[in-house]
Structure 1
Amino acid sequence: MITLETQSEFKRGVKDSLPIMTGIVPFGLILGAQAGQKGMSVLETCLMMGLNFAGGSEFAAVGLWTSPLPILTIITMTAMINSRHILMGAAFVPYLRHLPRRKIFPALFLMVDESWALGITDAKRREQAGLPPFSYPYYIATGITLWLFWVSCGFIGAWIGPMLGDVSKLGFGMAFPAVFLVLIRGMWRDFQAAIPWLISLVVAAISYLLLPQSGWYVIIGTVAGLMYAYFAGDDK
């Protein structure tokens, strides 16, 4: 039975995720359009976006989409780019460990950068307010909303993409970085806590310049930030 509290938390999750659509919509349209221009059908595009649900690796896969299809290269690149989800999932362990698997698996499937950031930020706020730190209905609502918008925009993009030409020239690419900065701002505590993020960014940028056409910069940047946090962290 769905309680009134569950309904309220679900609605709150939907409401909080709606502003994120400013980044999801244009990127979904661009990805769908690029997939269509690469020869992928609308169904293939929607299946890719719905089953993978990880924007960065999907853009990489579409960029590598040629004939014959380099399956091993696409799988390797996807795994490398999505490796950050291992750390994101680890951060969720304190909030999910008490849940049954039938709830954990959907939560992890819906875990993308945006839903993860919203879930972690909300958990911190609830903890400070003396409430149970993690609201499962809230988090699931954010994930489902983002998933539906993502796949829907991919469908539209794949449908009309062949008629648009080079959609990257429309300037939509700035929307997602802008939304990501807003998410980071919502998680901000102080400069000291942000140092691992900064180190990850700098190291990843340098690795990207030194290792072009490679996804290793994701892993290298992540490990650099973790190493700093481990060795320079305190016990607070």
Structure 2
Amino acid sequence: MKHRKPEMIRGARANVPVAASAMAYGSVLGVLAAQKGLNWLDMMYMNSAVFAGAAQFVMVDMWSNHMPIFEMTLAVLVINLRYLLIGASLDPLFSGRGLLHKMGMMHLVADENWAVTMSEQRNGSATTWFLFGGGVFLYLAWSSGTLIGLLGGGFITRPEEYALDFAFTAVFTALAVGLWRGKSDILPWVVAGAAALLAHKFLPGKWYIVAGGLAGAVSAMLSPCETDEVEEVEDVPSY
């Protein structure tokens, strides 16, 4: 219990680089939201209730005077299905924790602090409060960025001229590089990319996100484990 605050601070500090990028592409969302007529209360409610960048971009894109509630809800659900995989990957971290603890933590899990926590977990020093601290910091950065973009949206009519539309792509490219572990990742990454491209070409909407995630996860589970190979080599007697 006494280590809760230090772990939250450590998690927040570890997420400073990705939080800066989150604020940048959050401002892009704010600009788009301003063009759709959302106010700051709408924006803050969306940030608090959803807190998922890709899903919020889709919601704003679908925003209109005649709100397509069912279609919007379905689209957000499809995009956020990847959190089933993210939650499964965090299962060792939540081992022995209660349901309320898990639910409270998972609401503030974003792709960025998940990736940072997974890297920390490989060093054996990740905790749920480390994850939570990063999530709180990301939420504040994201919300600040969206409000800045929303309030200044009338002054930026073409965000692509300032490369703000590339911030979303840039941060996930950087996260992917940080998660690379070596040759064992080649097959799952290639399979995930191929599945996402095929789904994007032949399926409507955002199903390519789920298709890529599931294909990569299944491929990783079916791939031979390097540690097993090492153990087999070590079991061979030496003469």
Normalised by the length of structure 2, the TM-score is 0.87
CA distance in structure 2 between the aligned counterparts of 1:12 and 1:167, rounded to whole angstroms: 33
Which residue number corresponds to residue 233 of structure 2? none
User: Bigger shift: 82-91 or 193-202?
Assistant: 193-202
Gaps of 5+ in 2: 229-239
CA distance in structure 2 between the aligned counterparts of 1:7 and 1:227, rounded to whole angstroms: 37
Structure 1 residues 204-219: aligned runs within 5 Å? 204-212=196-204, 214-219=205-210
CA contact (8 A) 2:47 2:143 kept: yes
Alignment deviations for residues 121-160 of structure 1 (CA, whole Å, 9 cap, x no partner) = 111112xxxxxx5322211110000011111111121111
Q: Percent identity?
A: 27
SS at match of 2:219: helix
Which residue number corresponds to residue 38 of structure 1? 36
SS at match of 2:152: helix
Which residue number corresponds to residue 180 of structure 2? 188
CA distance in structure 1 between the aligned counterparts of 2:33 and 2:121, rounded to whole angstroms: 36
Shift of the alpha carbon at 1:222? 2.1
Alignment deviations for residues 81-111 of structure 1 (CA, whole Å, 9 cap, x no partner) = 1110000001111211311233211211011
CA contact (8 A) 1:22 1:179 kept: no
Q: Give the residue type in structure 2 aligned to 1:20.
A: V
Q: Give the residue type in structure 2 aligned to 1:203.
A: A
CA distance in structure 2 between the aligned counterparts of 1:70 and 1:23, rounded to whole angstroms: 30
Alignment deviations for residues 3-53 of structure 1 (CA, whole Å, 9 cap, x no partner) = 3x4333222212111111232111110101111110111110111122101
Match among 221, 225, 229 for residue 212 of structure 2:
221
Structure 1 residues 44-123: aligned runs within 5 Å? 44-123=42-121
CA distance in structure 1 between the aligned counterparts of 2:126 and 2:9, rounded to whole angstroms: 15
Gaps of 5+ in 1: 127-132
User: Bigger shift: 76-85 or 161-170?
Assistant: 161-170
Larger Cα-atom Rg: 2
CA distance in structure 2 between the aligned counterparts of 1:223 and 1:113, rounded to whole angstroms: 16
Shift of the alpha carbon at 1:168? 3.4
CA contact (8 A) 2:159 2:165 kept: no
Q: Give the residue type in structure 1 aligned to 2:131.
A: Y
Q: Give the residue type in structure 1 aligned to 2:207.
A: W
Which residue number corresponds to residue 165 of structure 1? 157
CA distance in structure 2 between the aligned counterparts of 1:28 and 1:14, rounded to whole angstroms: 18
User: 4+ residue stretches of structure 1 with deviation over 3 A?
Assistant: 230-236
Q: Are residues 1:230 and 2:228 paired? A: no
CA spacing shift, 1:183–1:68, aligned 2, 3 Å: same
Shift of the alpha carbon at 1:232? 3.3
CA distance in structure 2 between the aligned counterparts of 1:211 and 1:140, rounded to whole angstroms: 35
CA distance in structure 1 between the aligned counterparts of 2:109 and 2:32, rounded to whole angstroms: 24
CA spacing shift, 1:11–1:226, aligned 2, 3 Å: closer
Alpha carbon RMSD of aligned pairs, Å?
1.9
Q: Give the residue type in structure 2 aligned to 1:140.
A: F
CA distance in structure 1 between the aligned counterparts of 2:28 and 2:9, rounded to whole angstroms: 28
Q: Give the residue type in structure 2 aligned to 1:64.
A: M
Which residue number corresponds to residue 231 of structure 2? none
